[in-house]
Structure 1
Protein backbone atom coordinates (compact mmCIF):
# COMPACT_ATOMS: atom_id res chain seq x y z
CA UNK A 1 0.00 0.00 0.00
CA UNK A 2 1.32 3.46 -0.88
CA UNK A 3 0.88 5.27 2.42
CA UNK A 4 1.99 8.59 0.92
CA UNK A 5 -0.68 8.76 -1.78
CA UNK A 6 -2.45 12.10 -2.27
CA UNK A 7 -0.47 13.93 0.40
CA UNK A 8 0.19 17.67 0.12
CA UNK A 9 3.76 18.95 0.44
CA UNK A 10 4.65 22.63 0.83
CA UNK A 11 8.12 23.76 -0.28
CA UNK A 12 9.47 27.08 1.07
CA UNK A 13 12.78 28.40 -0.24
CA UNK A 14 13.90 31.87 -1.32
CA UNK A 15 15.83 30.28 -4.22
CA UNK A 16 13.40 29.19 -6.99
CA UNK A 17 16.05 26.79 -8.33
CA UNK A 18 16.03 24.88 -5.03
CA UNK A 19 12.24 24.67 -5.16
CA UNK A 20 12.48 23.25 -8.69
CA UNK A 21 15.01 20.60 -7.65
CA UNK A 22 12.85 19.41 -4.76
CA UNK A 23 9.75 19.54 -6.96
CA UNK A 24 11.38 17.39 -9.65
CA UNK A 25 12.54 14.80 -7.12
CA UNK A 26 9.09 14.49 -5.57
CA UNK A 27 7.41 14.32 -8.97
CA UNK A 28 9.73 11.53 -10.08
CA UNK A 29 8.93 9.36 -7.07
CA UNK A 30 6.44 6.48 -7.19
CA UNK A 31 4.06 8.32 -4.89
CA UNK A 32 1.56 10.93 -6.00
CA UNK A 33 2.02 14.24 -4.21
CA UNK A 34 0.18 17.52 -4.45
CA UNK A 35 3.00 20.06 -4.37
CA UNK A 36 2.66 23.75 -3.52
CA UNK A 37 5.53 26.19 -3.07
CA UNK A 38 6.55 29.71 -2.11
CA UNK A 39 9.80 31.63 -2.55
CA UNK A 40 8.70 34.01 0.23
CA UNK A 41 9.01 32.73 3.79
CA UNK A 42 6.24 34.99 5.13
CA UNK A 43 3.91 34.00 2.29
CA UNK A 44 4.89 30.38 2.85
CA UNK A 45 3.86 30.67 6.49
CA UNK A 46 0.50 32.11 5.45
CA UNK A 47 -0.01 29.26 2.97
CA UNK A 48 0.90 26.72 5.65
CA UNK A 49 -1.63 28.21 8.08
CA UNK A 50 -4.41 28.13 5.49
CA UNK A 51 -3.64 24.99 3.46
CA UNK A 52 -2.38 22.87 6.38
CA UNK A 53 -0.16 20.65 4.20
CA UNK A 54 0.79 17.16 5.30
CA UNK A 55 4.48 18.00 5.30
CA UNK A 56 6.65 21.12 4.86
CA UNK A 57 10.15 21.28 3.41
CA UNK A 58 11.73 24.64 4.18
CA UNK A 59 15.08 26.32 3.78
CA UNK A 60 16.78 27.39 7.00
CA UNK A 61 18.25 30.78 6.11
CA UNK A 62 15.85 33.13 4.30
CA UNK A 63 15.63 36.95 4.16
CA UNK A 64 12.20 37.57 5.70
CA UNK A 65 12.10 34.86 8.35
CA UNK A 66 14.09 31.69 8.91
CA UNK A 67 12.84 28.15 8.71
CA UNK A 68 13.13 27.98 12.50
CA UNK A 69 10.90 31.06 12.77
CA UNK A 70 8.31 29.31 10.61
CA UNK A 71 8.40 26.24 12.85
CA UNK A 72 7.94 28.35 15.98
CA UNK A 73 4.95 30.18 14.47
CA UNK A 74 3.27 26.98 13.28
CA UNK A 75 3.66 25.37 16.69
CA UNK A 76 1.56 28.14 18.22
CA UNK A 77 -1.56 26.82 16.47
CA UNK A 78 -3.34 23.58 17.40
CA UNK A 79 -4.17 22.99 13.73
CA UNK A 80 -0.58 23.20 12.46
CA UNK A 81 1.68 22.24 15.34
CA UNK A 82 1.73 18.55 14.37
CA UNK A 83 2.81 19.15 10.74
CA UNK A 84 6.24 17.54 10.27
CA UNK A 85 8.76 20.07 8.95
CA UNK A 86 11.98 19.09 7.22
CA UNK A 87 14.73 21.72 7.31
CA UNK A 88 16.89 21.90 4.16
CA UNK A 89 20.26 23.54 4.77
CA UNK A 90 23.66 23.85 3.18
CA UNK A 91 25.09 26.27 5.74
CA UNK A 92 24.07 25.32 9.28
CA UNK A 93 25.47 21.82 9.22
CA UNK A 94 27.21 21.43 12.59
CA UNK A 95 25.86 18.99 15.15
CA UNK A 96 24.90 21.94 17.37
CA UNK A 97 22.97 23.55 14.51
CA UNK A 98 21.10 20.35 13.76
CA UNK A 99 20.35 19.81 17.46
CA UNK A 100 19.01 23.36 17.64
CA UNK A 101 16.72 22.71 14.66
CA UNK A 102 15.37 19.48 16.15
CA UNK A 103 14.93 21.05 19.59
CA UNK A 104 13.01 23.91 17.95
CA UNK A 105 10.49 21.44 16.55
CA UNK A 106 11.89 20.36 13.19
CA UNK A 107 10.97 16.77 12.36
CA UNK A 108 14.13 16.10 10.32
CA UNK A 109 16.71 17.78 8.11
CA UNK A 110 18.23 17.26 4.67
CA UNK A 111 21.54 18.60 3.40
CA UNK A 112 22.08 20.83 0.39
CA UNK A 113 22.84 20.17 -2.37
CA UNK A 114 19.78 17.95 -2.21
CA UNK A 115 20.38 14.23 -2.65
CA UNK A 116 17.36 12.47 -4.19
CA UNK A 117 17.60 9.31 -2.08
CA UNK A 118 18.09 11.24 1.14
CA UNK A 119 15.19 13.59 0.46
CA UNK A 120 12.78 10.79 -0.43
CA UNK A 121 13.86 8.81 2.63
CA UNK A 122 13.16 11.80 4.88
CA UNK A 123 9.82 12.53 3.20
CA UNK A 124 8.63 8.92 3.29
CA UNK A 125 9.65 8.62 6.94
CA UNK A 126 7.67 11.75 7.81
CA UNK A 127 4.64 10.60 5.85
CA UNK A 128 4.66 7.21 7.55
CA UNK A 129 4.59 8.98 10.88
CA UNK A 130 1.65 11.06 9.64
CA UNK A 131 -0.30 7.99 8.57
CA UNK A 132 0.40 6.17 11.81
CA UNK A 133 -0.58 9.27 13.75
CA UNK A 134 -3.84 9.59 11.78
CA UNK A 135 -4.58 5.91 12.35
CA UNK A 136 -3.94 6.38 16.07
CA UNK A 137 -6.28 9.39 16.16
CA UNK A 138 -8.98 7.43 14.31
CA UNK A 139 -8.62 4.46 16.66
CA UNK A 140 -8.88 6.77 19.67
CA UNK A 141 -11.94 8.43 18.13
CA UNK A 142 -13.59 5.06 17.53
CA UNK A 143 -12.74 3.89 21.05
CA UNK A 144 -14.18 7.10 22.47
CA UNK A 145 -17.32 6.58 20.40
CA UNK A 146 -17.65 3.00 21.62
CA UNK A 147 -17.06 4.14 25.20
CA UNK A 148 -19.64 6.90 24.81
CA UNK A 149 -22.20 4.48 23.36
CA UNK A 150 -21.46 2.02 26.14
CA UNK A 151 -21.88 4.72 28.78
CA UNK A 152 -25.11 5.86 27.13
CA UNK A 153 -26.40 2.27 27.10
CA UNK A 154 -25.47 1.91 30.77
CA UNK A 155 -27.25 5.16 31.59
CA UNK A 156 -30.37 4.05 29.71
CA UNK A 157 -30.22 0.71 31.54
CA UNK A 158 -29.96 2.50 34.88
CA UNK A 159 -32.86 4.76 33.91
CA UNK A 160 -35.02 1.71 33.15
CA UNK A 161 -33.92 0.11 36.40
CA UNK A 162 -34.73 3.27 38.35
CA UNK A 163 -38.14 3.57 36.71
CA UNK A 164 -38.95 -0.07 37.44
CA UNK A 165 -37.82 0.31 41.04
CA UNK A 166 -39.82 3.51 41.42
CA UNK A 167 -42.98 1.90 40.09
CA UNK A 168 -42.46 -1.10 42.38
CA UNK A 169 -42.01 1.12 45.41
CA UNK A 170 -45.12 3.08 44.47
CA UNK A 171 -47.06 -0.17 44.18
CA UNK A 172 -45.78 -1.44 47.53
CA UNK A 173 -46.57 1.86 49.17
CA UNK A 174 -50.11 1.84 47.77
CA UNK A 175 -50.62 -1.71 49.08
CA UNK A 176 -49.33 -0.68 52.51
CA UNK A 177 -51.66 2.31 52.55
CA UNK A 178 -54.61 0.20 51.43
CA UNK A 179 -53.82 -2.40 54.10
CA UNK A 180 -53.57 0.27 56.77
CA UNK A 181 -56.84 1.84 55.66
CA UNK A 182 -58.53 -1.56 55.87
CA UNK A 183 -57.19 -2.07 59.40
CA UNK A 184 -58.48 1.36 60.35
CA UNK A 185 -61.88 0.43 58.95
CA UNK A 186 -61.96 -2.78 60.95
CA UNK A 187 -60.80 -0.93 64.04
CA UNK A 188 -63.84 1.31 63.92
CA UNK A 189 -66.23 -1.55 63.19
CA UNK A 190 -67.79 -3.91 65.73
CA UNK A 191 -65.26 -6.68 65.06
CA UNK A 192 -61.91 -7.42 66.69
CA UNK A 193 -60.67 -3.93 67.44
CA UNK A 194 -59.58 -4.92 70.95
CA UNK A 195 -57.66 -7.97 69.83
CA UNK A 196 -53.98 -7.76 70.86
CA UNK A 197 -52.79 -9.24 67.57
CA UNK A 198 -54.92 -6.86 65.59
CA UNK A 199 -53.65 -3.83 67.50
CA UNK A 200 -50.08 -5.00 66.97
CA UNK A 201 -50.70 -5.30 63.21
CA UNK A 202 -52.19 -1.83 63.09
CA UNK A 203 -49.27 -0.30 65.01
CA UNK A 204 -46.83 -2.22 62.83
CA UNK A 205 -48.30 -0.93 59.57
CA UNK A 206 -48.35 2.60 61.00
CA UNK A 207 -44.63 2.25 61.67
CA UNK A 208 -44.02 0.90 58.16
CA UNK A 209 -45.78 3.86 56.60
CA UNK A 210 -43.94 6.39 58.76
CA UNK A 211 -40.50 4.94 58.08
CA UNK A 212 -41.29 3.83 54.55
CA UNK A 213 -41.66 7.36 53.28
CA UNK A 214 -38.07 8.29 54.13
CA UNK A 215 -36.54 4.95 53.11
CA UNK A 216 -38.30 4.99 49.76
CA UNK A 217 -37.05 8.49 49.06
CA UNK A 218 -33.49 7.68 50.17
CA UNK A 219 -33.33 4.70 47.84
CA UNK A 220 -34.78 6.65 44.95
CA UNK A 221 -32.45 9.58 45.55
CA UNK A 222 -29.32 7.40 45.49
CA UNK A 223 -30.34 5.87 42.16
CA UNK A 224 -31.45 9.23 40.80
CA UNK A 225 -28.12 10.92 41.60
CA UNK A 226 -26.17 8.07 39.97
CA UNK A 227 -27.93 8.79 36.70
CA UNK A 228 -28.26 12.57 36.97
CA UNK A 229 -24.98 13.52 38.64
CA UNK A 230 -25.19 17.30 38.18
CA UNK A 231 -28.95 17.76 38.43
CA UNK A 232 -29.07 19.10 41.99
CA UNK A 233 -25.88 21.13 41.56
CA UNK A 234 -27.19 22.86 38.44
CA UNK A 235 -30.64 23.35 39.93
CA UNK A 236 -29.37 24.91 43.16
CA UNK A 237 -26.90 27.09 41.24
CA UNK A 238 -29.70 28.64 39.19
CA UNK A 239 -32.32 28.64 41.96
CA UNK A 240 -30.43 28.91 45.28
CA UNK A 241 -33.64 29.55 47.26
CA UNK A 242 -35.12 26.17 46.38
CA UNK A 243 -36.01 24.12 49.48
CA UNK A 244 -35.14 20.45 50.17
CA UNK A 245 -38.78 19.44 49.69
CA UNK A 246 -38.91 21.34 46.40
CA UNK A 247 -35.71 19.60 45.26
CA UNK A 248 -37.32 16.28 46.09
CA UNK A 249 -40.41 17.21 44.08
CA UNK A 250 -38.17 18.29 41.18
CA UNK A 251 -36.54 14.86 41.16
CA UNK A 252 -39.93 13.14 40.97
CA UNK A 253 -41.05 15.48 38.21
CA UNK A 254 -37.87 14.89 36.22
CA UNK A 255 -38.65 11.17 36.45
CA UNK A 256 -41.99 12.14 34.89
CA UNK A 257 -44.03 10.71 37.76
CA UNK A 258 -47.67 11.71 37.91
CA UNK A 259 -49.10 13.86 40.69
CA UNK A 260 -50.94 10.81 41.99
CA UNK A 261 -47.76 8.71 42.12
CA UNK A 262 -45.86 11.49 43.87
CA UNK A 263 -48.71 11.72 46.35
CA UNK A 264 -48.40 7.99 47.06
CA UNK A 265 -44.66 8.21 47.70
CA UNK A 266 -44.70 11.39 49.80
CA UNK A 267 -47.92 10.67 51.75
CA UNK A 268 -49.27 14.06 50.74
CA UNK A 269 -52.63 14.75 49.19
CA UNK A 270 -52.95 15.23 45.47
CA UNK A 271 -54.06 18.79 46.14
CA UNK A 272 -50.89 19.48 48.15
CA UNK A 273 -48.73 18.24 45.29
CA UNK A 274 -50.66 20.39 42.81
CA UNK A 275 -50.09 23.48 44.98
CA UNK A 276 -46.38 22.63 45.29
CA UNK A 277 -46.12 22.26 41.51
CA UNK A 278 -47.73 25.68 41.02
CA UNK A 279 -45.25 27.25 43.44
CA UNK A 280 -42.39 25.64 41.55
CA UNK A 281 -43.64 27.03 38.25
CA UNK A 282 -43.75 30.50 39.81
CA UNK A 283 -40.25 30.11 41.23
CA UNK A 284 -38.92 28.95 37.85
CA UNK A 285 -40.73 31.75 36.03
CA UNK A 286 -42.83 29.37 33.92
CA UNK A 287 -46.02 31.05 32.74
CA UNK A 288 -48.92 29.40 30.99
CA UNK A 289 -48.71 25.87 29.64
CA UNK A 290 -46.02 26.38 26.99
CA UNK A 291 -43.34 24.53 29.00
CA UNK A 292 -44.24 21.79 31.47
CA UNK A 293 -42.13 21.15 34.55
CA UNK A 294 -40.81 17.80 33.31
CA UNK A 295 -39.49 19.31 30.07
CA UNK A 296 -38.03 22.29 31.94
CA UNK A 297 -36.21 20.07 34.46
CA UNK A 298 -34.70 17.93 31.71
CA UNK A 299 -32.46 20.93 31.03
CA UNK A 300 -30.61 20.51 34.33
Structure 2
Protein backbone atom coordinates (compact mmCIF):
# COMPACT_ATOMS: atom_id res chain seq x y z
CA UNK A 1 0.00 0.00 0.00
CA UNK A 2 1.41 3.39 -1.01
CA UNK A 3 1.82 5.96 1.74
CA UNK A 4 -0.42 9.00 1.56
CA UNK A 5 1.43 11.96 -0.02
CA UNK A 6 2.75 14.61 2.35
CA UNK A 7 1.48 18.11 1.67
CA UNK A 8 3.97 20.97 1.44
CA UNK A 9 3.16 24.67 1.20
CA UNK A 10 5.73 26.69 -0.76
CA UNK A 11 5.49 30.43 -0.08
CA UNK A 12 7.60 32.90 -2.07
CA UNK A 13 6.80 36.14 -3.88
CA UNK A 14 9.13 35.16 -6.74
CA UNK A 15 7.26 32.88 -9.20
CA UNK A 16 10.58 31.61 -10.58
CA UNK A 17 11.54 30.23 -7.14
CA UNK A 18 8.15 28.53 -6.78
CA UNK A 19 8.46 26.95 -10.25
CA UNK A 20 11.99 25.76 -9.44
CA UNK A 21 10.89 24.14 -6.17
CA UNK A 22 7.89 22.51 -7.83
CA UNK A 23 10.18 21.12 -10.54
CA UNK A 24 12.49 19.64 -7.88
CA UNK A 25 9.61 17.79 -6.21
CA UNK A 26 8.04 16.71 -9.51
CA UNK A 27 10.59 13.90 -9.79
CA UNK A 28 9.44 12.34 -6.49
CA UNK A 29 6.62 10.38 -8.20
CA UNK A 30 3.66 11.74 -6.28
CA UNK A 31 5.30 11.51 -2.87
CA UNK A 32 4.36 15.12 -2.14
CA UNK A 33 1.32 17.32 -2.79
CA UNK A 34 2.42 20.92 -3.29
CA UNK A 35 0.54 24.11 -2.49
CA UNK A 36 1.81 27.62 -3.18
CA UNK A 37 1.37 31.15 -1.89
CA UNK A 38 2.81 34.39 -3.26
CA UNK A 39 2.80 36.36 0.00
CA UNK A 40 2.88 35.84 3.75
CA UNK A 41 -0.79 36.59 4.35
CA UNK A 42 -1.84 33.97 1.81
CA UNK A 43 0.62 31.47 3.33
CA UNK A 44 -0.91 32.05 6.76
CA UNK A 45 -4.49 31.62 5.54
CA UNK A 46 -3.72 28.50 3.46
CA UNK A 47 -1.94 26.91 6.43
CA UNK A 48 -4.94 27.53 8.67
CA UNK A 49 -7.33 25.92 6.19
CA UNK A 50 -5.21 23.10 4.71
CA UNK A 51 -2.88 22.14 7.62
CA UNK A 52 0.06 21.06 5.38
CA UNK A 53 2.72 18.70 6.71
CA UNK A 54 5.55 21.15 6.02
CA UNK A 55 6.05 24.83 5.20
CA UNK A 56 8.78 26.18 2.91
CA UNK A 57 8.67 29.92 3.61
CA UNK A 58 10.63 32.71 1.99
CA UNK A 59 12.09 35.09 4.55
CA UNK A 60 11.10 38.31 2.75
CA UNK A 61 7.54 38.43 1.41
CA UNK A 62 4.93 41.18 1.00
CA UNK A 63 2.04 41.68 3.46
CA UNK A 64 3.67 39.41 6.05
CA UNK A 65 7.26 38.14 6.08
CA UNK A 66 8.22 34.56 6.87
CA UNK A 67 8.99 35.19 10.54
CA UNK A 68 5.66 36.94 11.06
CA UNK A 69 3.86 33.98 9.49
CA UNK A 70 5.62 31.59 11.89
CA UNK A 71 4.85 33.80 14.92
CA UNK A 72 1.15 33.85 14.06
CA UNK A 73 0.97 30.11 13.36
CA UNK A 74 2.68 29.25 16.65
CA UNK A 75 -0.20 30.94 18.47
CA UNK A 76 -2.78 28.60 16.89
CA UNK A 77 -2.98 25.12 18.52
CA UNK A 78 -3.83 23.36 15.24
CA UNK A 79 -0.80 24.79 13.40
CA UNK A 80 1.79 25.44 16.10
CA UNK A 81 3.58 22.11 15.55
CA UNK A 82 3.84 22.21 11.74
CA UNK A 83 7.57 22.17 10.85
CA UNK A 84 8.98 25.14 8.93
CA UNK A 85 11.99 25.39 6.64
CA UNK A 86 12.88 29.04 6.10
CA UNK A 87 14.31 30.02 2.71
CA UNK A 88 16.83 32.83 3.26
CA UNK A 89 19.10 35.05 1.24
CA UNK A 90 22.81 34.39 0.97
CA UNK A 91 23.69 37.15 3.43
CA UNK A 92 21.19 36.45 6.23
CA UNK A 93 23.09 37.01 9.50
CA UNK A 94 23.63 34.43 12.24
CA UNK A 95 21.70 36.71 14.61
CA UNK A 96 18.69 36.69 12.29
CA UNK A 97 18.86 32.90 12.00
CA UNK A 98 18.96 32.59 15.80
CA UNK A 99 15.82 34.73 16.01
CA UNK A 100 14.14 32.41 13.50
CA UNK A 101 15.03 29.30 15.51
CA UNK A 102 13.90 30.98 18.74
CA UNK A 103 10.38 31.54 17.40
CA UNK A 104 10.07 27.97 16.12
CA UNK A 105 11.65 27.61 12.66
CA UNK A 106 12.85 24.01 12.21
CA UNK A 107 15.56 24.44 9.54
CA UNK A 108 16.69 26.84 6.82
CA UNK A 109 17.96 26.88 3.24
CA UNK A 110 20.12 29.60 1.73
CA UNK A 111 19.49 30.76 -1.82
CA UNK A 112 20.60 29.58 -4.27
CA UNK A 113 19.99 25.96 -3.23
CA UNK A 114 20.16 22.78 -5.28
CA UNK A 115 17.70 19.93 -5.66
CA UNK A 116 19.69 17.45 -3.56
CA UNK A 117 19.88 19.84 -0.61
CA UNK A 118 16.19 20.80 -0.87
CA UNK A 119 14.99 17.20 -0.95
CA UNK A 120 17.39 16.08 1.80
CA UNK A 121 16.30 18.87 4.17
CA UNK A 122 12.66 18.16 3.40
CA UNK A 123 13.00 14.41 4.02
CA UNK A 124 14.94 14.81 7.27
CA UNK A 125 12.55 17.46 8.62
CA UNK A 126 9.47 15.36 7.88
CA UNK A 127 11.06 12.21 9.36
CA UNK A 128 12.05 14.05 12.52
CA UNK A 129 8.58 15.57 12.85
CA UNK A 130 6.88 12.19 12.34
CA UNK A 131 9.13 10.56 14.96
CA UNK A 132 8.47 13.40 17.40
CA UNK A 133 4.71 13.11 16.81
CA UNK A 134 4.74 9.37 17.47
CA UNK A 135 6.79 9.78 20.65
CA UNK A 136 4.40 12.48 21.82
CA UNK A 137 1.38 10.26 21.13
CA UNK A 138 2.98 7.33 22.97
CA UNK A 139 3.78 9.54 25.95
CA UNK A 140 0.22 10.90 25.96
CA UNK A 141 -1.17 7.36 26.00
CA UNK A 142 0.98 6.56 29.04
CA UNK A 143 -0.14 9.75 30.80
CA UNK A 144 -3.80 9.07 29.96
CA UNK A 145 -3.46 5.57 31.42
CA UNK A 146 -1.93 6.88 34.64
CA UNK A 147 -4.62 9.56 34.90
CA UNK A 148 -7.29 6.85 34.60
CA UNK A 149 -5.55 4.90 37.35
CA UNK A 150 -5.41 8.01 39.56
CA UNK A 151 -9.13 8.63 39.00
CA UNK A 152 -9.87 4.99 39.85
CA UNK A 153 -7.90 5.28 43.10
CA UNK A 154 -9.80 8.43 44.08
CA UNK A 155 -13.11 6.66 43.41
CA UNK A 156 -12.02 3.71 45.57
CA UNK A 157 -11.03 6.02 48.43
CA UNK A 158 -14.38 7.83 48.28
CA UNK A 159 -16.31 4.54 48.22
CA UNK A 160 -14.30 3.13 51.12
CA UNK A 161 -14.84 6.25 53.22
CA UNK A 162 -18.56 6.28 52.46
CA UNK A 163 -18.87 2.61 53.42
CA UNK A 164 -17.00 3.02 56.70
CA UNK A 165 -18.89 6.19 57.59
CA UNK A 166 -22.20 4.41 56.92
CA UNK A 167 -21.22 1.53 59.20
CA UNK A 168 -20.06 3.92 61.91
CA UNK A 169 -23.34 5.86 61.80
CA UNK A 170 -25.25 2.62 62.38
CA UNK A 171 -22.97 1.53 65.22
CA UNK A 172 -22.73 4.84 67.12
CA UNK A 173 -26.24 4.67 68.70
CA UNK A 174 -25.44 1.21 70.09
CA UNK A 175 -22.00 1.84 71.55
CA UNK A 176 -23.30 2.97 74.94
CA UNK A 177 -24.73 -0.51 75.56
CA UNK A 178 -22.11 -2.71 73.91
CA UNK A 179 -18.44 -2.29 74.80
CA UNK A 180 -17.37 -4.43 71.83
CA UNK A 181 -19.07 -2.04 69.45
CA UNK A 182 -17.15 0.83 71.05
CA UNK A 183 -13.93 -0.86 70.00
CA UNK A 184 -15.29 -1.52 66.50
CA UNK A 185 -16.26 2.14 66.20
CA UNK A 186 -12.76 3.22 67.20
CA UNK A 187 -11.26 0.87 64.64
CA UNK A 188 -13.46 2.30 61.88
CA UNK A 189 -12.54 5.84 62.92
CA UNK A 190 -8.85 4.95 62.77
CA UNK A 191 -9.35 3.40 59.33
CA UNK A 192 -10.86 6.65 58.12
CA UNK A 193 -7.91 8.62 59.49
CA UNK A 194 -5.17 6.38 58.09
CA UNK A 195 -4.66 6.95 54.38
CA UNK A 196 -2.97 3.79 53.16
CA UNK A 197 -3.63 4.81 49.56
CA UNK A 198 -1.70 8.08 49.70
CA UNK A 199 1.84 6.81 49.13
CA UNK A 200 0.75 4.75 46.12
CA UNK A 201 -1.32 7.68 44.85
CA UNK A 202 1.61 10.09 45.32
CA UNK A 203 4.02 7.87 43.38
CA UNK A 204 1.60 7.58 40.49
CA UNK A 205 0.74 11.30 40.59
CA UNK A 206 4.43 12.26 40.43
CA UNK A 207 4.88 10.15 37.31
CA UNK A 208 2.26 12.30 35.58
CA UNK A 209 3.30 15.62 37.21
CA UNK A 210 7.00 15.09 38.12
CA UNK A 211 7.89 18.47 39.67
CA UNK A 212 4.49 19.44 41.08
CA UNK A 213 5.18 18.87 44.79
CA UNK A 214 8.73 20.26 44.60
CA UNK A 215 7.46 23.43 42.97
CA UNK A 216 4.76 23.81 45.63
CA UNK A 217 7.29 23.40 48.42
CA UNK A 218 9.51 26.03 46.83
CA UNK A 219 6.54 28.39 46.90
CA UNK A 220 5.81 27.56 50.55
CA UNK A 221 8.13 25.33 52.57
CA UNK A 222 5.64 24.84 55.43
CA UNK A 223 2.84 23.14 53.47
CA UNK A 224 1.48 20.20 55.47
CA UNK A 225 0.92 16.72 53.98
CA UNK A 226 -2.82 17.44 54.17
CA UNK A 227 -2.34 20.64 52.12
CA UNK A 228 -0.20 18.83 49.55
CA UNK A 229 -3.00 16.31 49.13
CA UNK A 230 -5.49 19.13 48.65
CA UNK A 231 -3.27 20.66 45.95
CA UNK A 232 -2.97 17.30 44.17
CA UNK A 233 -6.73 16.80 44.10
CA UNK A 234 -7.23 20.36 42.80
CA UNK A 235 -4.65 19.61 40.08
CA UNK A 236 -6.76 16.59 39.10
CA UNK A 237 -9.71 19.00 38.78
CA UNK A 238 -11.87 17.19 41.33
CA UNK A 239 -14.91 19.10 42.57
CA UNK A 240 -15.17 20.38 46.15
CA UNK A 241 -17.57 17.59 47.11
CA UNK A 242 -15.20 14.90 45.81
CA UNK A 243 -12.19 16.48 47.53
CA UNK A 244 -14.07 16.69 50.82
CA UNK A 245 -15.01 13.00 50.53
CA UNK A 246 -11.45 11.92 49.73
CA UNK A 247 -9.99 13.97 52.60
CA UNK A 248 -12.83 12.86 54.90
CA UNK A 249 -13.73 16.42 55.91
CA UNK A 250 -16.85 18.55 55.65
CA UNK A 251 -17.40 21.17 52.95
CA UNK A 252 -16.93 23.83 55.65
CA UNK A 253 -13.68 22.14 56.67
CA UNK A 254 -12.56 22.17 53.03
CA UNK A 255 -13.30 25.90 52.76
CA UNK A 256 -11.12 26.50 55.82
CA UNK A 257 -8.33 24.35 54.35
CA UNK A 258 -8.49 26.27 51.06
CA UNK A 259 -8.32 29.59 52.93
CA UNK A 260 -5.20 28.50 54.83
CA UNK A 261 -3.62 27.21 51.64
CA UNK A 262 -4.22 30.55 49.89
CA UNK A 263 -2.51 32.34 52.79
CA UNK A 264 0.55 30.07 52.63
CA UNK A 265 0.82 30.48 48.86
CA UNK A 266 0.46 34.27 49.29
CA UNK A 267 -2.31 34.59 46.71
CA UNK A 268 -4.03 37.94 46.23
CA UNK A 269 -7.80 38.35 46.31
CA UNK A 270 -7.82 38.50 42.51
CA UNK A 271 -6.00 35.16 42.12
CA UNK A 272 -8.10 32.01 41.83
CA UNK A 273 -6.65 29.10 43.81
CA UNK A 274 -7.73 26.42 41.32
CA UNK A 275 -6.33 28.37 38.35
CA UNK A 276 -3.06 28.95 40.20
CA UNK A 277 -2.68 25.24 41.04
CA UNK A 278 -3.55 24.12 37.49
CA UNK A 279 -0.78 26.34 36.09
CA UNK A 280 1.92 24.68 38.22
Per the shorter chain, which TM-score range?
0.5 to 0.7
- Structure 2: unaligned runs, 5 residues or longer: 196-225, 254-280
Structure 1 residues 124 and 31: CA distance shift in structure 2, 3 A: farther
> Following the alignment from structure 2 to structure 1, what is the Cα–Cα distance between the partners of residues 90 and 46?
25
Aligned residue for 2:175, secondary structure, equals helix
Alignment of 1:222-233 (within 5 A): 230-231=240-241
Aligned residue for 1:113, secondary structure, equals coil
Give the CA deviation at 1:30: 6.0
Q: What whole-Å deviation, never above 9, does each CA across 1:162-197 have from its counterpart, x for those lacking one?
A: 2442344345435535x35xxxxxxxxxxxxxxxxx
Alignment of 1:61-80 (within 5 A): 61-80=60-79
- Structure showing greater radius of gyration is 1
For the aligned residues, what is the CA RMSD?
4.0
The answer as to whether partners of 2:240 and 2:251 remain within 8 angstroms in 1 is no
Q: What whole-Å deviation, never above 9, does each CA across 1:129-155 have from its counterpart, x for those lacking one?
A: 221221122123211220122112212
Q: TM-score, normalised by structure 1?
A: 0.56
> Following the alignment from structure 2 to structure 1, what is the Cα–Cα distance between the partners of residues 99 and 147?
43
Alignment of 1:102-121 (within 5 A): 102-121=101-120
How many residue pairs match? The answer is 211
> Following the alignment from structure 1 to structure 2, what is the Cα–Cα distance between the partners of residues 159 and 39?
60
Give the CA deviation at 1:222: 7.8
- Out of 126-135 and 98-107, give the one that drifted further: 98-107
Structure 1 residues 31 and 169: CA distance shift in structure 2, 3 A: farther
Q: TM-score, normalised by structure 2?
A: 0.59
Partner of 2:87: 88
- Structure 1: unaligned runs, 5 residues or longer: 181-200, 235-243, 249-300
Q: What whole-Å deviation, never above 9, does each CA across 1:229-286 have from its counterpart, x for those lacking one?
A: 722989xxxxxxxxx99969xxxxxxxxxxxxxxxxxxxxxxxxxxxxxxxxxxxxxx
Structure 1 residues 246 and 46: CA distance shift in structure 2, 3 A: closer
> Following the alignment from structure 1 to structure 2, what is the Cα–Cα distance between the partners of residues 246 and 168?
21
> Following the alignment from structure 1 to structure 2, what is the Cα–Cα distance between the partners of residues 110 and 34?
20
Partner of 1:136: 135
Partner of 2:160: 161
Give the CA deviation at 1:123: 0.9
